[in-house]
Amino acid sequence: MRRSPRDTALSARKITRRSLVLAGAQLAFMGVLGARMRYMQVEEADAFRLLADENRINDQVIAPARGRIYDRNGLTIADNVPSYRIVMVRENVPDVEQTLDELSQIVPLSDEDRAQAIRALRGSPRAPVTVLDRVSWDDLSRVAVNGPALPGVSPEVGLSRIYPLGSEFAHVVGYVGRVSQSDLDRYEDPPPLLRIPRFQIGKVGVESKEEERLRGKPGVKRVEVNNTGRVMRELDRTEGKPGADLQLTVDHALQSYVQARLGEESASAVVIDCETGDLLAIASSPSYDPNKFVEGISVADYSVLRDNEYRPLASKTVQDTYPPGSTFKMVTLLAALDAGIIGANDTFRCNGFLEVASRRFHCWKGSGHGNVDLEASLRESCDVYYYELALKTGIERITAMARRLGLGEKHGVPMSAESSGVAPTREWKRNRFGKDWVIGDSVNASIGQGFVASTPLQLAVMTARIATGRAVSPRLVKTVDGIEQPTGAGAPLDLNENHLRLVRRAMFTVSNSRRGTAYGSRIIADGLRMAGKTGTSQVRNLQSERERFGRVLKDDEVEWRRRDHALFVNFAPADKPKIAVSVIVEHGGGGSKTAAPIARDITLQALYGEDPPLDAYPAKDRDRIRAQQATLRRLRREQEQNGGGSQA
Active site members: 326
Alpha-carbon gap, residue 111 to 113, rounded angstroms: 6
Phi first, then psi, for residue 58 (nearest 5°) are -120, 140
Q: Where do runs of H (alpha helix) occur along 536-595?
A: 542-549
Residue among 646, 534, 635, 644 at smallest CA distance from 588: 534
Alpha-carbon gap, residue 95 to 78, rounded angstroms: 40
Q: Which amino acid is at 514?
A: R
Total residues found in the chain within this entry: 648
- How many of the other CB atoms lie within 10 Å of CB of 458? 30
β-pairing verdict for 267-273 and 483-484: unpaired
Alpha-carbon gap, residue 404 to 335, rounded angstroms: 10
b/e sequence 178-188, b meaning 16+ C-beta within 10 Å: bbeeebeeeee
Alpha-carbon gap, residue 350 to 234, rounded angstroms: 84
Phi first, then psi, for residue 465 (nearest 5°) are -70, -40
Most distant CA atoms of the chain, gap in Å: 156
Residue among 421, 72, 389 at smallest CA distance from 248: 72
Residue 346 near residue 330 (C-beta atoms within 8 A): no
b/e sequence 162-173, b meaning 16+ C-beta within 10 Å: bbbbbbbbbbbb
Give the residues across from 231 on adjacent strands. 225
Residue among 587, 48, 500, 533 at smallest CA distance from 320: 587
Residue 324 near residue 448 (C-beta atoms within 8 A): yes
